Amino acid sequence: MVDTADSGTPARPGLLASWHRTWRRANQRSAFGERYTTAIVFLIPTVTLFTLFVILPMGEAALYSVYRWNGYGELSTFVGTRNYAFLLNNGAFRSALINTGLIILVSLAIQLPLALWMALILAERIRGAVLFRAIFFLPYILAEVATGLIWKFVYDGRYGLVAGLYGWFGAEPPFLLADRELAIYAVMIVVVWKYFGFHMMIYIAGLQAISHEVVEAARIDGASWWQTAWRIKVPLLAPVIRLSVFFSVLGALQLFDLVWALTRGGPANATHTVVTYLYNFGITRMSIGFGSAVGVVLFIICVVFAFGYRRSLMRHD
């Protein structure tokens, strides 16, 4: 038999096609193997860190929540769901849940619309826009503890800014942070002031991504500034607004530093959020089992909201 390769006779087309398919499959397997190896190399440290600092602490919190434990020694006093039963029947915890809900409501009803309105104004090319953006964003740069201490002085009924304003009008200044009815509203004002600029900058970034041609076309057609903002910019900004709402709700659920520096949950547990309640009744009182139960409940609330919100409102974003 004569070897076609040696004799110069061209190989059959079917044989060439078979060689090409074999070579292509080998290259695909090689490329797949390289991608698989790269993914494993990058995933191992990530999964390890996630397991050490997220999965294991969550599992430990769930374990501690079914024990009466002060953080020292072995887990010996098993109480089952009694920590959860006491938690759900505790008036201070219900008050903390209500306060957290009120902060979420104020954030959604006042803070975010105000931030959107200011973003629509400051996204325009007007004189001083950059300066006003910086001024409104500065409170967010301040540390939460520093913000709480500053506003604690502002609210002081003897020497603070509120006392000075009331004294200027000849009225008796109130002690807002010592009033059980007014303290939570004073906290809400600080929350709006602190985080308003963050959401405003998110909206400005979204507005700057909108095509100028679309806006100019609306203006050429005779649309006013308000019509352009309401009918063109806000609908196109919907994914950014949904993201801002997501950040706002999760941030309110985890609010701690600001409230703790401002009121420590007082007076008489009137301004506790869920996290300050956890710290006050779980950590400072060395009731780690009960505090873990609070943490588990907060974790469930956050997870249910996060997954439910993303699946219902952000699934196309």
Locate the domains of the chain by residue range.
Answer: 13-64, 84-313
Res 300 pLDDT > 90: yes
- State how far the Cα of 262 lies from the Cα of 247, in Å rounded to an integer: 22
What is the structure's pLDDT at 13? 55
Mean pLDDT is lowest, of 24-33, 114-123, 125-134, 217-226, for 24-33
Reported as a single tens digit per residue, the pLDDT across 170-217 is 888 889 999 999 999 999 999 999 999 999 999 999 999 988 888 888
Superfamily grouping for domain 84-313: MetI-like (1.10.3720.10)
Question: Quick one: CA dihedral 99, 101, 106, 112, positive or negative?
Answer: positive
Q: What's the mean per-residue pLDDT of the chain?
A: 87
- Taking residues 87-92, what's their average pLDDT? 92
Task: Indicate the range of 18-32, 58-72, 292-306 predicted with least confidence.
Answer: 18-32
Say which residue, 3 or 229, is predicted with more confidence. Answer: 229
In the predicted structure, residue 5 carries a pLDDT above the cut 50: no
The percent of residues above 90 in pLDDT, for the chain, comes to 59
Residue 220: predicted pLDDT: 87
| Residue bearing tokens 């806006």 | 215
Instruction: Give the C-alpha separation, 209 to 214, whole Å.
Output: 11
62-79 average pLDDT score: 90
Q: Please tell me the predicted confidence (pLDDT) of residue 23.
A: 55
- Across 74-88, average pLDDT: 90
pLDDT at 205: 94
Cα–Cα nearest to 123, from 26, 25, 229, 50: 229
How far is Cα 201 from Cα 139, in angstroms, rounded to an integer? 12
Q: Is the pLDDT of residue 275 over 70?
A: yes
pLDDT band at 24 (very low <50, low <70, confident <90, very high): low
Phi, psi dihedral angles at 78 (to 5 degrees): -80, 125
Give, in order, the Cα–Cα distances in Å from 282 to each of 21, 36, 56, 259, 288: 66, 45, 19, 17, 5
> Residue 2 has what pLDDT?
42
> Given this model, what pLDDT does residue 4 score?
47
| CA nearest neighbour of 84 among 93, 71, 74, 97 | 93
Contacts of 215 (CB under 8 A, 6+ apart): 228, 232, 233
Average pLDDT over residues 45-61: 90
Look at residue 107 and tell me whether its pLDDT is greater than 50: yes
Give percent of the chain with pLDDT exceeding 70: 89
